[in-house]
Structure 1
Amino acid sequence: MTPARTGTPASTSARQAVAAHPPELRAAAAHLGRRRFLTVTGAAAALAFAVNLPTAGAASAAELDAARIKSDPFTLGVASGDPQPASVLLWTRLATSPYQPGGGLPGNRVSVRWEVAHDQRFTRIVRRGTATAHPEFGHSVRVEVPGLDADRFYFYRFRAGTWISPVGRTRTAPARSADITELRLGAVSCQAYHDGYFTAYRHLAAEDLDVVVHLGDYLYEYAVTAAGGARDYTDRRLPAHYNRETVTLEDYRLRYGLYKSDPDLMAAHAAHPFVVTWDDHETENNYAGETPENDVPPEEFLLRRAAAYRAYWENQPLRTPQRPDGPDMRLYRRLHFGRLAQFDILDTRQYRSNQAYGDGWQVPGPESEDPARTMTGQTQERWLLNGWKQSRATWNVVPQQVTFARRRDVPRDDFKYSMDSWDGYPASRQRILDGAAGAGVDNLMVLTGDVHVGYGFDLKADFDNPGSRTVGTEIVATSVSSGKDGAEKPANWDNLTTANPHMKFYNGRRGYVTVTYGRSQARADFRTVSAVTTPGAPVTTAGSFVTEAGAPGLKPA
């Protein structure tokens, strides 16, 4: 969440960075229209940045003997994600020097061994194998481990030569038909490195959770000073290449190296499997589909988007179907946790219509209320509604990016809405709510990030009538660090709580949310830290609410 588009040209440094793309790609992009650029034969291949992607049975580069690696290559930790009943996805990325281009490794592939065990000491190993860290994918490694038991904790690690990674713990999902009694998740979003420490992650790592859902803005494209911004380092200095906006593939890879080297973030990934989705800052603030924030040529933006998507794939625990194809990446997907919960993870950034009225907070009107406007695109919208028709889960959970409930800025007739949120796409929101009603979804819960505050909303059949039926709930996770320390009651607290009677909670501190789903109710606990500009702040519970199965609406716990 950042202020409205300025309409100004991109900065000189950003343009220079765009120029760093191979000239043949920029020339091809410049001579094709935006849509033709996406569809002409060879364009998607060109967006692979003139490197040959590794293919099955084909060696992409000479192999480096892992025994020759002289310093720890596991500086970015380990992670797991998208749990399934018989399978886990394991991730790591080799980088002996994560703050250097190439991660400190030569352009060779590296064989990496992996192990999965029942115990943390690995005396009872259940699966092992070898994977390849390809330089074309930034020496990232992902392993989809099959043949595991459902609903069970496992420990995992990687080996490269004599080096052994940190140990991670993951958990498989329950069987689709399992009648489980509880599921506990953590929800996080918005972790600007330059705004403070990731203290919330240290506390999240200690929580008893089945899964963590990341709701977007895993990194920020903005420059980070040598002192680490608000972290204000006195004992170290970051390289100068961080003090510029990310545009190229190498820029984004380096930025992930900075973020993922944070010890608190590494601890959270090692403790829990993650389910991730992006928002805007993984690419560029408030972009909409193929439309950039500023007035760079759309062909240049598509190159940037392809770079950002490629780096996102390389650095997140995502399965094979999410591998990007040039500037496109199928991120929306569905996960099941027994008969208790179905997760429909949305992408509200890649397919949306451009923000109405130039973005920002605006008075609604014909442009924003156009029925043709979409937040999800038609294909994703149809996928979501059809999935609900087939759902047999008690709780239908929708992890997504921007505020779903209506949110007026003042309790007066001259109110405005955020054009970047679902308020800027009311027809699209109504189609989602109508689809949920038509599918008989009784227990809808939307999980949201983006706004750097914690909200709790009742979703109403008619937001103009506070007495209308409540059709679901929305839990908005505050930021991990974005916005710096924040305040328990931000300056607009009175205006927002008065203007939106369906808003049941509002807190502006940093932290995360835990949600515990049971057969009869779900409980949300808003967990906050007092500061992020200094490390080590304690965590407290700022508010707790329950919503009953079959009777949606947030009530104090």
Structure 2
Amino acid sequence: MTAPRPAAPGALPAALAGLHAPSAPPSRRGLLLGAGAAALAAGSLAAAAPPRALAAAGPVRGYPFTLGVASGDPLPDGVVLWTRLAVDPLAEDGRGGMPDRGVNVRWVVAADERFRRPVRIGSTVARPERGHSVHVEVSGLEPGREYFYRFQALGQVSPTARTRTAPAADAATASLTFAMASCAQYEHGFFTAYRRLAEDEPEVVLHLGDYVYEYRADDYVAPGGNVRDHAGPETTTLAGYRQRHAQYKTDPDLQAAHAVAPWVVVWDDHEVDNNWADEVPESLERDPLPGFLDRRAAAFQAYYENMPLRRSSVPRGLDLQLYRRLGWGRLAQLHMLDTRQYRDDQACGDGTATGCAERLDPARSLPGEEQERWLLDGLSASTATWDVLGQQVFFAQRDFAAGPERRYSMDGWDGYSASRSRLLAGLEERQVANPVVLTGDVHRHYACDVHPDAPGGEGEPDLGRAPVATELVCSSITSGGDGSDTAAATDLQLAENPHIRYASSLRGYVLVDLTPERMTARYRVLDRVQEAGAPARTGATFAVEAGRPGLQPV
């Protein structure tokens, strides 16, 4: 990559003269959300494209930005810019119709959406060994401000998108609004919730996993049937994972959500294989070793290629470093966790179980010993008002059985009770004032007070003691198809678990507003996702006062 250079304010450099916006651009929302609104005429770009880029392109024909653009992991001085070139995104070989050679890509970051004030310009090469993906780590930007960016390759310009940098580490930041989302099964519905999330214009989007699903068409059927089909077989190879990510990325509603703000992403299980745990697949009979390890490596590479991640997350053999921290001034510290890659295998099966002694074993860990230590050390060192843990699976205690019987999910923290106990004890010992756990996975909205474990080592909550944390759980974008506001399962859970303050089986996402004084969570719901275009509404709102754990309805 050539080193980015500051651009003189006022006019675009001659090399990018063809990238100027039309004289009468659409509104900001129309520019960011309209499918293809930012793509300019190819004829005007030929003169602007560097000759070397066009020579490298060779005979490739077609629009290369079919997968849109994205940004991620904002820092005070920069952000990651992402795109992946694909003129034939659903090609079965996973190459996206691209040549087996590098293609030059130019990028520009500007202070305005018309690109009249460019501030950083550079070029890089989209290489076939990385699926022709581009990860530009822009630096030298101003903290706590909004920017616009786009790419150019093969004589074409990408859509325009908005990003932002984090505030300076010592900034007394007044507020942060972020959205949290998870679980978008392409076949189960339309991605309208992503469109509504974009229209709410959060400053950051936290995606908590199950960004794609691995199944072949109709292997996983929603109640009422599937409304769309997956392309290709179940994903087990690099070509298959690339094709699946590409199919999801072509969705205009998902592209809109990426275009509105930087994303901070972590995976759950379906990016690889349902219920996988470290080096153990869902089914050893179907995925025997070492074949599953090859599958995992392919899934990791495709995940990196298709997400706005930094060089620190480039896969190395079987591993991909995903857990990390990001700050937002003195207001918030984001601790993003990986609860799949290092976990012990699920105890007593992958579902719910009663009387499972193995789940209480103190040697078992969900995040793994090293990540547990990393998290507790980071919480100890944090000086932020709010410590936000972005992770995948249900954290608070959740009993599924009516009456005195206790039945717990083995895939969430209840299946690793001692691991959760160590974290809860650490929160108390370190006097972490305002910890907030963010969760996806379960296809339902929940709001939970997280209490310390009761004495006895059975992993039950001590409701006689004050909460030590708050858990916000977002429903799915589509997974499970059309939901309902109430359901027998959630009614039972509310009755058996009084620390769970809210539950809804509708699809949607959560908007969270942070200030130094309080956190406010708005649970956004859609009454249907199996028809495109449903409006979003707020199903419930809760607040937590800084220094006083405990959810309060608003």
TM-based fold match above 0.5: yes
Indicate how the Cα distance of structure 1 residues 271 and 89 shifts in structure 2: closer, same or farther if over 3 A, else same.
same
Q: Which runs of 5+ in 2 are unaligned?
A: 1-52, 454-459
Q: In the alignment, which residue of structure 2 is the partner of 1:375?
A: 366
Q: In the alignment, which residue of structure 1 is the partner of 2:535?
A: 538
Q: In the alignment, which residue of structure 2 is the partner of 1:518?
A: 515
Q: In 1, distance between residues paired with 2:383 and 2:262?
A: 24
Partner letter of residue 176 of structure 1? A
Report the 3-state secondary structure (helix = DSSP H, G, I; strand = E; otherwise coil) of the residue aligned with 1:103: coil
Give the C-alpha shift of residue 115 in structure 1.
0.2
Report the 3-state secondary structure (helix = DSSP H, G, I; strand = E; otherwise coil) of the residue aligned with 1:434: helix
Q: In the alignment, which residue of structure 2 is the partner of 1:488?
A: 485
Q: In 1, distance between residues paired with 2:492 and 2:462?
A: 18
Q: What do the CA deviations read for 1:211-260 (whole angstroms, capped 9, x no partner)?
A: 0000000000011269x995646xxxx7xx82421000000000001000
The aligned runs of 1:104-183 (5 Å cut-off) are 104-183=97-176
The aligned runs of 1:419-434 (5 Å cut-off) are 419-434=410-425
Q: In the alignment, which residue of structure 2 is the partner of 1:476?
A: 473
Partner letter of residue 343 of structure 2? R
Q: In 2, distance between residues paired with 1:159 and 1:208?
A: 25
Q: In the alignment, which residue of structure 2 is the partner of 1:333?
A: 324
Q: What do the CA deviations read for 1:275-311 (whole angstroms, capped 9, x no partner)?
A: 0000000000001111111023221111000000000
The aligned runs of 1:40-51 (5 Å cut-off) are none
1:274 counterpart = 2:271: no
Counterpart among 499, 503, 525 of residue 528 in structure 1: 525
Q: Which runs of 5+ in 1 are unaligned?
A: 1-61
Q: In 1, distance between residues paired with 2:281 and 2:177?
A: 37
Partner letter of residue 346 of structure 1? L
Q: What do the CA deviations read for 1:511-548 (whole angstroms, capped 9, x no partner)?
A: 10000011111000000111111100010000000001
1:403 counterpart = 2:400: no
Report the 3-state secondary structure (helix = DSSP H, G, I; strand = E; otherwise coil) of the residue aligned with 2:178: strand
Give the C-alpha shift of residue 68 in structure 1.
4.1
Counterpart among 260, 271, 290 of residue 279 in structure 2: 290
Q: What do the CA deviations read for 1:97-133 (whole angstroms, capped 9, x no partner)?
A: 1011310111111000000001111010000010110
Check conservation: 2:64, 2:154, Cα contact below 8 A: no
Q: In 2, distance between residues paired with 1:464 and 1:174?
A: 37
The aligned runs of 1:14-413 (5 Å cut-off) are 65-66=56-57, 68-100=59-91, 101=93, 102-224=95-217, 232=227, 242-295=231-284, 296-413=287-404
Indicate how the Cα distance of structure 1 residues 103 and 243 shifts in structure 2: closer, same or farther if over 3 A, else same.
closer
Indicate how the Cα distance of structure 1 residues 466 and 132 shifts in structure 2: closer, same or farther if over 3 A, else same.
same
Q: In 1, distance between residues paired with 2:114 and 2:58?
A: 23
Report the 3-state secondary structure (helix = DSSP H, G, I; strand = E; otherwise coil) of the residue aligned with 1:90: strand
Check conservation: 1:67, 1:160, Cα contact below 8 A: no
Report the 3-state secondary structure (helix = DSSP H, G, I; strand = E; otherwise coil) of the residue aligned with 1:356: coil
Moved more, 328-337 or 487-496: 487-496
Q: In 1, distance between residues paired with 2:58 and 2:100?
A: 16
Q: In 1, distance between residues paired with 2:237 and 2:98?
A: 19
Partner letter of residue 103 of structure 2? V
Give the C-alpha shift of residue 439 in structure 1.
1.8
Q: What do the CA deviations read for 1:387-419 (whole angstroms, capped 9, x no partner)?
A: 111100000000000000000002312221000
Check conservation: 2:365, 2:416, Cα contact below 8 A: yes
Check conservation: 1:64, 1:108, Cα contact below 8 A: no
Q: In 2, distance between residues paired with 1:354 and 1:161?
A: 46
Q: In 2, distance between residues paired with 1:329 and 1:472?
A: 29
Moved more, 287-296 or 501-510: 287-296
Report the 3-state secondary structure (helix = DSSP H, G, I; strand = E; otherwise coil) of the residue aligned with 2:539: strand
Q: In 1, distance between residues paired with 2:100 and 2:218?
A: 28
Q: In 2, distance between residues paired with 1:556 and 1:324?
A: 43
Give the C-alpha shift of residue 435 in structure 1.
1.3
Indicate how the Cα distance of structure 1 residues 368 and 225 shifts in structure 2: closer, same or farther if over 3 A, else same.
closer
Give the C-alpha shift of residue 63 in structure 1.
9.4
Moved more, 242-251 or 501-510: 242-251
Q: In 2, distance between residues paired with 1:270 and 1:464?
A: 41
Check conservation: 1:225, 1:243, Cα contact below 8 A: no
Per the normalisation by structure 1, the TM-score is: 0.86
RMSD: 1.6
Partner letter of residue 506 of structure 2? R
Check conservation: 2:218, 2:226, Cα contact below 8 A: no
Give the C-alpha shift of residue 364 in structure 1.
3.6
Indicate how the Cα distance of structure 1 residues 543 and 129 shifts in structure 2: closer, same or farther if over 3 A, else same.
same
Check conservation: 1:490, 1:508, Cα contact below 8 A: yes
Check conservation: 1:396, 1:445, Cα contact below 8 A: yes
Give the C-alpha shift of residue 493 in structure 1.
2.2
Report the 3-state secondary structure (helix = DSSP H, G, I; strand = E; otherwise coil) of the residue aligned with 2:470: strand
Check conservation: 1:340, 1:394, Cα contact below 8 A: yes
Q: In 2, distance between residues paired with 1:468 and 1:436?
A: 14
Per the normalisation by structure 2, the TM-score is: 0.86
Q: In 2, distance between residues paired with 1:388 and 1:542?
A: 32
Partner letter of residue 310 of structure 2? R
Give the C-alpha shift of residue 422 in structure 1.
0.2
Report the 3-state secondary structure (helix = DSSP H, G, I; strand = E; otherwise coil) of the residue aligned with 2:335: strand
Q: What do the CA deviations read for 1:297-334 (whole angstroms, capped 9, x no partner)?
A: 22111100000000000000000001111211110000
Q: In 2, distance between residues paired with 1:98 and 1:283?
A: 20
Check conservation: 1:516, 1:522, Cα contact below 8 A: yes
Check conservation: 2:494, 2:500, Cα contact below 8 A: yes
Partner letter of residue 325 of structure 1? R
Report the 3-state secondary structure (helix = DSSP H, G, I; strand = E; otherwise coil) of the residue aligned with 1:431: helix
Q: In 1, distance between residues paired with 2:246 and 2:355?
A: 41
Aligned residue-pair number: 489
